[in-house]
A and B are shown apart, each in its own frame.
Chain A
């Protein structure tokens, strides 16, 4: 039954090809706008979460249960006795989604060179393991990473500038130790990094774990954190669940936490962007409905004598209505084809080679995550489908009034030109 109406709809579109093309073009651009904009939004969220967790924090962290939020120096994993660090790192890394894990120790104190002294946060790292977990280890500008067991520092470019030092220079590091004494020693700046995160570049110094433990009078088994890398950040919550069970027996008192728990503001941002997707799709297609409805009204008005004739020779109003609706459906098919031709090359292109926008704006951080000045696009599969559904819905909705009016034409009056 649909065969002839499909063809009639297609042919009717061909009566005024230019008008049909413009109408379809409008819908196609609407579709492209929805898909590309949501793709860009998701790209920004992926950038925020990817960098926010990948540069330093890791996608999952294991602490002693009481460590957060106070971050007391004394709240090391396993309490005063500490733990078998290698065993814990191994247990965390054994999770199927975890690609790497590394232990960390946190402290604070002073870094001094010449007349300059700065307050700094210290992160004790395992130089062999840390580069597989945090991208900051690959952000070196000068020098090299600190070596295990060496009194060496890896500091940010801004801290280096304020201290007026560079790789190879000697600085004094002072840190209150866990026994109440004042740990102090000479350290060599092994390398200088630039992460793009202002606070980190200005006030965080990475020190080999064993050197920081010695400075802070802590034995080798005492660390504050094991950080893990999980390739897809959205897998982290499930990994947290698994580790919660697996660590409970061998490492009681430990608390694994996925990034969405220690950086909840990022989850809020992601939810905000998701709700914006709905706003975009609704606004774009509501605008399109009026444009398409106008065109369809014109197209049916022009053919009113034809509809009147069809009605006069016995066609039912329902058939007239159906023919107009089918015309709108065919318009939808044409629009979606155009939209796909318009959208997908741009989507694939920007996904694989995000345009550099540094001429317009620089790095910025959102909810603690670094956003590079590029138009990163992530594929939004369900928005591609939803956009298509919305496109057809728009075309059909816009055709309802014109179709109804076409079916209700008074045949005699219309044919008489009254």
Chain B
């Protein structure tokens, strides 16, 4: 008896690494054009470590049955720590998610309780969005899990781009069988990423847009995720406020701060 439906295909990019990828790739902008795809991503990946950020995000979720908007405050430290607090709507306000390493904790203000998410639910949707809990937990270590090569280099719709093809390494514990990324050559801004399963069926697409400067960095302020099997459904995330290199320590990502955010 299937009483509980769990999403079967957890995805990869994280709310935090969503900005991560943007930062990664634009930080690599200073690299010379002669670098291999792997070197670019590796350089970018290492530059991401130790970064901290704080931002405010509007998330709009559109499903077949309902549409809702949420405002969230997000802070992150490196790839291991993230804290996401819902500011609105009122019904969910104060609900907070803490990512610490591979664990996810939720604080529910209505009942004033903190619960740790069981690993069996890592693949299920986070806050009703098209992100999974797994998306939050998995680090964005593309270089470790994937063999990366340039599959296309040239002009698409008048814009010079690279397209990377990522294939998981045999030992990598990842869900996707293939990821394609398109990145603008001029400023190394990501344009889209497509995620495929082992049958090479497209599962979901992420698109980035509205590139803007924040704390001196060019980043995509808007990201849209669309599941391929549910046409018309999407989750859109828009940064309304974003700051990098803010003073945050690991103490800001403890169970105590989960219950009473600063």
Which A residues form the contact surface with B (CB < 8 A)? 56-57, 71-72, 74, 106-110, 112, 115, 117-123, 172, 174, 176, 178-182, 184-186, 199-200, 203-204
Give A413 to B32 CA distance when docked, in angstroms: 119
Known interface pairs A172-B108, A185-B111. Does A108 touch B68 (Cβ–Cβ under 8 Å)? no
Known interface pairs A108-B4, A110-B118, A123-B3. Does A184 touch B66 (Cβ–Cβ under 8 Å)? no
Q: Which residues of B contact A109 (CB under 8 A)?
A: 4
Contact indicator B121/A184 (Cβ below 8 Å):
no
Partner of A180, one of B2, B3, B68, B106: B68
Partner of A108, one of B5, B64, B108, B113: B5
- Main secondary structure, interface of A, reads strand
Q: How many A-B contacts are there with CB distance less than 8 Å?
A: 80
Contact indicator A199/B111 (Cβ below 8 Å):
no
Q: How far is the CB of B236 from chain A (nearest CB, A)?
A: 14
**Nearest opposing residue in chain A for B108, CB measure:** A184
Contact indicator A176/B128 (Cβ below 8 Å):
yes
Q: Which residues of A contact B121 (CB under 8 A)?
A: 110, 119
Q: Which residues of A contact B116 (CB under 8 A)?
A: 115, 117
Known interface pairs A110-B121, A119-B120, A176-B125. Does A71 touch B115 (Cβ–Cβ under 8 Å)? no
Give A121 to B91 CA distance when docked, in angstroms: 23
Partner of A121, one of B4, B89, B108, B120: B4
B63 is an interface residue with CB less than 8 A from chain A:
yes
B256 is an interface residue with CB less than 8 A from chain A:
no
**Nearest opposing residue in chain B for A199, CB measure:** B1
Q: Which residues of A contact B64 (CB under 8 A)?
A: 74
Q: How far is the CB of A176 from chain B (nearest CB, A)?
A: 6
Contact indicator B110/A74 (Cβ below 8 Å):
no
Q: Which residues of A contact B61 (CB under 8 A)?
A: 180
B127 is an interface residue with CB less than 8 A from chain A:
yes
Contact indicator B4/A119 (Cβ below 8 Å):
yes
Of residues B1, B92, B115, which shows the largest number of chain A Cβ atoms within 10 Å of its Cβ? B1
Contact indicator B111/A119 (Cβ below 8 Å):
no
Partner of A185, one of B106, B110, B117, B127: B110
Partner of B128, one of A56, A120, A174, A182: A182
Task: Jot down 11 A-B pairs with beta carbons below 8 A, ordered by A.
Answer: A112-B113, A119-B6, A121-B4, A172-B115, A180-B68, A180-B128, A181-B89, A182-B92, A184-B108, A185-B110, A204-B3
Convert B105-134 into 0s and 1s, putting 1 for each residue whose CB lies closer than 8 angstroms to a CB of A. 010101101011110110001011000000
Convert B223-257 into 0s and 1s, putting 1 for each residue whose CB lies closer than 8 angstroms to a CB of A. 00000000000000000000000000000000000
